[in-house]
A and B are shown apart, each in its own frame.
Chain A
Amino acid sequence: MTTAALSQPSKSLWQDSLARLKKNKSAMYSLYFIVFVCIVALFAKYIAPYSYETQNMDAILEGPSAKYWLGTDSLGRDQLSRLIFGARMSMAVAVFTAILSLVIGSIYGAVSGWFGGVTDRVMMRVVDILYSIPTLVLLILMKVIFDSLDIFENPELKALTSILVALSLAGWVTLARVVRGQVLQAKQMLYVEAARSLGAKPIWILARHVIPNIMGPVIILLTLQVPSNILFESFLSFLGLGLQPPFSSWGVLANEGWSLMKSYPHLIISPSVAMALTLFAFSYFGDGLRDAFDPKMRGRV
């Protein structure tokens, strides 16, 4: 081995994984697409040609045209604008449930795994009970709570909050379990022992040494959870338990389109394609992340 090879800066696990991820074309294109949808959702107000509720009574159930690129629905609303505004709901669910369950799950799991003993047993029992409550039930309960509490004036915000709270409540539990397992492993590692022998406080060791090192599997799990969360939101809006018209979400659009499917197929096609593309992107990106972070794949490419 030459000195040149040795004097190269060593790559950390993260840099290594990111480099591998960048090589994976389908994952990168998926990432670009996800970012694109996020931007569209964020700036929906400025991008969409019309508002989601503007009606044009002279153009009801029209097919795609130069004025209405994706046609209009049964109340004369522009389908493209509704599609763009609908992206807000899906992306909000994707981003916020991921962040919420990541923060709660990692703190809970890390504390439980780190302190062990009775703390661990009690905390994990709570997790077990929460884990066996079906997500749909949580969602119904949240909806009932938010309906009767009347905190939110805006129905869009109300639907979003109840879905977010329920999905995060269901999501952090799995994450907490994984984080706990990882922390239990990391506790035995030499670098933790080294930090402890240098007199570092437990909180510092957890935050500075343990958590950054166990984030790989956690992030992978998170990207696998995101598509199912998006799916769940559209599910609920489709069933009429989530967002209600005139507000727009891809599930709402699919519901409206499905009932008119026989005569006006363009109304079901656009939300379906948007939904399918987004979910495709998330699953390819999730697969790419898993390949990039999975130690079994290291050095094989």
Chain B
Amino acid sequence: MIDKLKGLAFPALVFWLLCLVINSFMGYEMPSIIGKLTLALVFGSLIFYIFKMRLFSYITQRVLESAFTLFAIATLTFLLLRVLPGGPFDQEKTLPPEVMANIAKKYNLDAPMYVQYFDYMKGVVTFDFGESYKYIGRPITDILVESIPASIELGIYSLILAFLMGIPSGVIAASKHNKFGDRILMFFAISGVALPVFVVAPALILLFCYKLGWLPAALWSGPQYYILPVLALGTRPAATIARLTRASVLEVIASDYIRTARSKGLSNSVVLFKHVLKNSLIPVLTYSGPLVAGLLSGSFVVELIFAIPGMAKHFVQSVSNRDYPLIMGVTLLYSALLIISNLIVDILYSYFDPRIQLS
């Protein structure tokens, strides 16, 4: 039963991602019912899997741990920002004391430290981080909600690109082991790993915008705007995935059951896709955790270079403006994104590799 579900859920996942790409890049609206159905299938089978494998206690434990980590991070940021000398309003030294008192009152800075802490924690639990010090009168939650979609879109497209480019080139390189194709692909892969985003992105802009004039150089307002940033962000993970896939495919090819499959007379492509690929993708999946973290921090540079209205701008500006509530909000959001994606990766990992026992 579980195997059948997996056989159904995996193509559904791929199909859903494909729909996503078609919807946003080709400008063709797929009927939304298809997307919803496939998504329901994917999540349904995952939930069924969690039920069947009795993963609930594991997941609860992990969620509690994550909550504790977030709590620790929240406390740490609070302590650092409130206890350390020097506040965001210090530079305006000419202000009379009454004005300072008013500012302190407005932002709840005159209360005793423990009261401030409890208020802050209450806010964190209810997703209310207070008002920005810099953009006066704007709640932090508004700023964050407004900037999340672009960042997440950029991240997901780059993730898809990384897998779509990385896995096939890794398999091709391994199947042409030590021949010309392998060398060329691996040279590109090592370059992709060694080249920082802020080298790749300007190079892409120079080529495709200034020399050829094919694509826009900045902003995030349509499919043609997505291509360059996604390429810039996806190159490095794609290169890493290609190298991992190659190494792991080479290892699997040398194993006994592949020799058996070959000696049965199965064709090369059947062996490669049915036997080798399935077993060699597990190390690649393990890399997804660090991959997501890398994408999150890499996306900051890409967002700045391509002027994408995402989280990066706020992250950088909040620090230089010493906009403490915004720093806290962005920090917690970023940590939460990372922790949640790690949890999902762990569950998926056991889903695809039945040898892994989560408990």
Contact = CB atoms under 8 A, between A and B. Distances in A.
Given A147-B86, A240-B320, A133 B73 contact: yes
Nearest to B312: A239
Interface string B69-80: 100110011001
B301 interface: yes
A200 interface: no
B255 to A, nearest CB: 14
B86 A134 contact: no
Interface residues of A, number: 42
B196 interface: yes
A141 B316 contact: no
Contacts of B198: 234-235, 238, 251, 254-255, 258, 272
Interface string A117-157: 00000000000110011111100110111011110000000
Interface string A232-271: 1011001111000000000100110110011001001000
A235 B297 contact: yes
Interface string A257-301: 110011001001000100110011001100000000000000000
Interface in B75-100: 76-77, 80-81, 84-86
Given A140-B331, A239-B301, A280-B190, A145 B338 contact: no
B316 A133 contact: no
Contact of A144 (B68, B84, B202, B335): B84
A283 B202 CA distance: 23
Given A134-B334, A262-B210, A144 B319 contact: yes
B190 A258 contact: no
A148 B320 CA distance: 12
A148 B199 CA distance: 33
Size range of the chain B interface in the assembly:
35 or more
Contacts, number: 119
B338 A279 contact: no
A40 interface: no
Contacts of A279: 193-196
A272 B199 contact: yes
A227 interface: yes
Contacts of B335: 132-134, 137
Interface in B169-213: 190-191, 193-199, 202-203, 205-206, 210
A239 B196 contact: no
B194 A143 contact: no
Contacts of B334: 134, 136-137
A279 B236 CA distance: 13
A140 B319 contact: yes
A276 B297 contact: no
Contact of A129 (B72, B190, B202, B296): B72
Contacts of A232: 297
A143 B196 CA distance: 23
Contacts of B301: 235, 238-239
Contacts of B190: 280, 283-284
A135 B296 CA distance: 11
15 contacts: A128-B65, A133-B73, A135-B293, A136-B315, A144-B80, A235-B297, A235-B300, A239-B300, A239-B312, A241-B319, A258-B202, A272-B203, A275-B199, A276-B191, A276-B195
Interface of B: 65-66, 68-69, 72-73, 76-77, 80-81, 84-86, 190-191, 193-199, 202-203, 205-206, 210, 293, 296-297, 300-301, 304-305, 312, 315-316, 319-320, 322, 327, 331, 334-335, 338-339, 342
